[in-house]
Structure 1
Amino acid sequence: MFKEKTFVFWLCFCCLVGVFGDELKSVSVMEGESVTLQINVTELQADDEIMWTFGANRNLLAKTNGDFSKISIHDDVLNGTFRDRLNLDNKTGSLTITNTRSTDSGLYEVTISTSRSETEHRFTVTVTGSSTRPPSDSSDSSDSSDFHYLTVWISVAAAVGFLLLVASVGIFCMCRKQKKTEQQAETREEDITYANPTFYKRNTPKSEDEVIYASVVRR
């Protein structure tokens, strides 16, 4: 009788552990920040085994086989989506994802196996957008930088060309106006008629000193 009660007690206990251990936790994080999925374990035991998976297909992310000095990180799954961004705490079994991206959103599951029981925890992670620019490959960054400089140079060249065009039109108009003014001045000079001066000798009465008397011969 005592054994039957003990068996029922452990069965209920295991069911409760399974129910609460399988509780789904929701975690939200801003894109570019780090997130840690904690399983509320103070310290793992030497014989505990940890296995973290991601997605409906349960892609393996990290695993330990009792020896926490040897942690296997499988960050090459899903075409290297998690490469160099996973960290498994060898004391608590918590999984940390650094530099989060929108593709990190989804279901994460961890299985803790001991010599007496097996416990599972599930997390649904949502990565929301941020005002900062998401990380990109160096090639994309270089291409974007080159395009930016090219756009700046084109804008500067267009502005300089426009100023030169305006200056050329202004100089042309000034030269044309100056030439027209000179032509008008030459036309006025040609219209002027110059007359040669004519001097006339004035007849003045002779004075008595200039009178010549002639002798008269009588017959």
Structure 2
Amino acid sequence: MEGDSVSLNSDLTEMKDDDVIQRRFGDKNTLIAEINVTADRITVYDDVLDGRFRDRLKLDNQTGSLTITNTTTEHTGDYERQINGVRKRFGLIVYTRLPVPVIISNSSHCSSSSSSSSSSSSSSCSLVCSSVLNVSDVNLSWYAGISVLSSISVCVLCISLSLPLEVEYQDKNTYSCVLNNPISNQTTHLDINTLCHTCADSVHSCGPTEAEIRLVLSALVGVATVIILVYDIRSRRAERDQAHIHTSGA
């Protein structure tokens, strides 16, 4: 994993007085470190290959093992160990740290379906699990419990991965989205109640525009009610005044 240290052993418990150990890297077998016991010399070549190994190489003067500290993906490749002319090659892959995948709802409304032979209906929720990354050799998968439902893999550098999933709102399964490479993984668990809503919820919910319309209608009804009450009071008062005038005249 990026940032970790790795040791490339020499398979020696102790070096002899005439041992010469060389370490090389890459397709061009670039010399990056050397131990010459006879000359009592230990050398690391920090500036080769654009300095990718600078301040990262440590040689054990007892066994000849090479340790690479604070590794990056630039240290992925083939390494050669040569002891007194005998060669052995190692393959090293350094993986970047994985981001946590994100689950989002892919639709603003649920979809419902019903059959003619049954009065029951079901609502489903469309989801997408995605991850923004700049790595290689990763898998993005949907799980129901411990079973894989779907998966997508890439082995070249990419910007993002996304994987859809359709679930029933009443589904009791435990769903999770997993991003993994051969040595690590990141998991996000699905909370259906948070991301998915039933059709009944959708019917009773309203957006800002509908809420504003309802507020205006309520205000108009209130104003109309006040006008009617004022008109009724004035009409009753006028009737009483008219009756009083007739009584006084009589």
Q: TM-score, normalised by structure 2?
A: 0.43
- Which structure features the higher share of strand residues? 2
Q: TM-score, normalised by structure 1?
A: 0.48
